Structure 1
Amino acid sequence: MPGLLARYEQLIADGQLQPDTDQRRAAVRLDALQKELEADAPGGLLGQLFGRKKVRPQGIYMWGGVGRGKSMLMDLFHETLGIPEKRRAHFHAFMQEVHGRIRDARKDVVGDPIPVVAERFADGVRCLAFDEMVVSNSADAMIMSRLFTQLICKQGVTVITTSNRPPSDLYKDGLNREHFLPFIDLIESELDVLALNGPTDYRLDRIGDLATWHTPLGDEATAKVREAFFRLTDFAPEDAEHVPSEELPVGGNRTLHVPKSLKGVGVFSFKRLCGEARGAPDYLAIAQHFHTVIIVGIPQMAPDKRNEAARFVTLIDALYENRVKLFATAAAQPDELYVAGDGSFEFERTASRLNEMQSSEYMALGHGSDQ
């Protein structure tokens, strides 16, 4: 099987990718890592010389804005890596599995269960690849340094991950962040940090001809946001029933069910987001976790829907301030959603933001309130 770099260059030659300096630099480094891992395999060159792996190859942390090609390179890396002892996972799903394994380990382990959990994860795995590393809750932050120290330094697992943020910005302003700082030190000492932060958002190119606000409600509007989802995630539309869901932590012990969640894109119904009792922490968790949000079924709100309108204002504020891309199906244009009732005057600012969020200038902004 051709290696990553050969496949990457072929995609450029075929016109499927554009030449990109940052991408190629990362592809060269990933290709070198592939060769190290394959040479250290039991049947590889170093395996033949020493009978077992002597040195753990240095892992990689790729970060950059949305649409810079991180996930594409990760897909190529995993697909072309010629060893069986590999695993690729979405980071959030992996951490959910970690918490489950910790609970199970505590039933029969005296003391700290982390070393045991790490050993079990490392069984049969030499290379662990994550997409979209993001830390949005203290429960993950509290265990990540200890867990990954065990995986990388004790178990010898090579870790490759992507993130929208540089290591120093992970869990920024998070609760008890001081407990998380050793994890940042671990990344910077044990992984090569590569920036993919070029000027071109290739994912945005894929949706450049799609409108973001679709009205009136109906099959046509639904089809438009569905198309946006599949363009953004590269998921096969014919396999739509297998799009994963997610339980997003939103504070305390609460989670929010996300019916469709993939590669930083979350799909929600207005009824779930604003028809139920929710507050700013819920909406902030969504805005920080997803670079793109799709909301379906936004109604025109009469005066008796003032609570729903107020929640919608808080939701849009969080999305706007974190520069989240929004696709929506709605019963009316933003200026006509809530024109009478308590808070309707304040709603005018929300309508203005919704109109701005449809602009090419807003769509070109990077995700995150600090960018």
Structure 2
Amino acid sequence: MFLGLAINDRDTARVAPRHCFRASVCTGMPSVSDLYEARLEEGRLTRDPAQEEALPEFERIRSELSKPRKKGLFRKAPEPPKGLYIWGGVGRGKSMLMDLFVESLKVPARRVHFHAFMQEVQGEIHKLREKGHEDPIKPVAKDVSDSIKVLAFDEMQITDIADAMIVGRFFERLFDAGCVVVTTSNRVPDDLYKDGLNRELFLPFIELIKERLVVHELASERDHRQDRLSGSQVYFAPANAEARADMDRIWQELTHGEEDTLTLRVKGREVTLPRYHNGVARASFYDLCGAALGPGDYLALAEAVRVLLLENIPRLGRSNFNEAKRFVTLVDALYEAKVRLIASAADEPESLYVEGRGAFEFERTASRLREMQSESWGVSSDGD
């Protein structure tokens, strides 16, 4: 059985047992549009025409899955509805719409970050291979399709060649078993695993997506995540109780109190984000810079999150030189990926590293930390 989190009702975030892949079933739920309007009335959302244009696609799936299924010995199971691949720039509301969709469902569903799900899949396949199973993909896919009707992925992206080599066969079995896939992504399908090793072996999966899922662009002009941070302080020094309270407030605004743990596996190593929800992560300096992590780990992290709350950055120098080097590498990865950084630190950027080997080189990091505090940081002309 799979390890993992099975959540169907996102408002209460009910968590299934760690060794259970089955999600709870909601009954008597309103439509996706009803839930969207309710959030507007509560003041939790701002009306967005692009989001409203996407609602019928979610409702199409919900409505089809809600129809009663006639049972009989010789009655053929009805064809499942096409899934949905909704893509667009960060902060446009893709994950929020996914939450509403899953909340509206009356069938067993799994809402999970795509990277975390593929880690589970790879883990189960590895276990079966160790037991001598000739084709482990088949039973792992069956385990999934027997337990749930809908797989709702956040942030579909392929960066690992191991994932690229199995996703086609794995998802073809899920689709054939009647499992419906709904996923968000920052990329159009044709750009998945772009420039990846042996990408030609991955191309059939792209065609499978186009065949089994409706591809819909969420072309909103607004970055709602940036809107929530607009005008807000995003760097707090010193890292005292007041800074902690400010970080708590921002975390609550961005996640509405919902969170999980996300573990990224990079070349056999694990990078754990202890608190994570919908592209927003929260960790301490020592969570990310106290462990023996390298550039590849930080690049994977920057690929997986769009906002990082990093707490308790200490003063840096001779006594923590290795941690300081990792911090520089982390900031570089976040900077290049345009990740929004919200931080609490012992001092202002220019005063974090004032003595010892590496102090001169840190000036560039301090400059980047200062630049990343600007209100326009992470906003580009194409919305990505």
Aligned to 2:227: 205
Counterparts of 1:31-70 in structure 2, within 5 Å, are: 31-39=59-67, 41-42=68-69, 51-70=75-94
> Could you tell me whether the CA contact under 8 Å between 1:42 and 1:51 is conserved in 2?
no
- How far apart in 2 are the matches of 1:79 and 1:305? 46
CA distance in 2 between counterparts of 1:73 and 1:164 reads: 14
Cross-structure match for 2:15:
none
- State the AA in 2 paired with 1:92: H
What is residue 169 of structure 1 aligned with on the other side?
191
- 115, 130, 133: which one aligns with 1:92: 115
Change in CA separation of 1:185 and 1:331 when aligned onto 2, cut-off 3 Å: same
Q: Does 1:344 align with 2:359?
A: yes
When normalised by structure 1's length, the TM-score is 0.87
Matching residue within 22, 38, 44 for 2:50: 22
One of 50, 58, 73 as aligned partner of 2:97: 73
CA–CA distance in 2 between the matches of 1:315 and 1:107?
35
Tell me the SS of whatever aligns to 2:115: helix
Alpha-carbon shift at residue 310 of structure 1 (Å): 2.6
Q: Aligned ranges for residues 1-371 of structure 1 at < 5 Å?
A: 1-12=29-40, 15-39=43-67, 41-42=68-69, 51-82=75-106, 84-106=107-129, 110-152=133-175, 154-236=176-258, 243-250=259-266, 252-365=267-380, 371=384
Q: Distance in 2 between matches of 1:169 and 1:265?
A: 23
Distance 1:258 1:81 in 2: 29
Q: Is the CA contact (8 Å cut-off) linking 2:159 and 2:196 kept in structure 1?
A: yes
The alignment's C-alpha RMSD in Å is: 2.5
In the aligned structure 1, how far is the partner of 2:382 from the partner of 2:364? 21
Where does the alignment leave 5 or more consecutive residues of structure 2 unmatched? 1-28
Percent of aligned pairs sharing the same letter: 46
* Change over 3 Å in CA distance of 1:86–1:299 after alignment to 2: closer
Q: CA deviation at 1:148?
A: 0.5
Give the distance between the partners of 2:370 and 2:183, measured in 1 at CA: 35
> Which ranges in structure 1 are unaligned for 5 or more consecutive residues?
237-242
State the one-letter code of the partner of 2:47: P
Q: Per residue, is there more helix in 1 or in 2?
A: 1
Q: For the Cα contact (< 8 Å) 2:81–2:180, is it kept in 1?
A: yes
User: Is the deviation greater in 268-277 or in 344-353?
Assistant: 268-277
**Does the 8 Å CA contact 2:317/2:359 hold for their aligned counterparts?**
no
* Separation in structure 2 between the aligned mates of residue 9 and residue 227 of structure 1, nearest angstrom: 25
Measure, in 2, the Cα distance between the counterparts of 1:365 and 1:344.
31
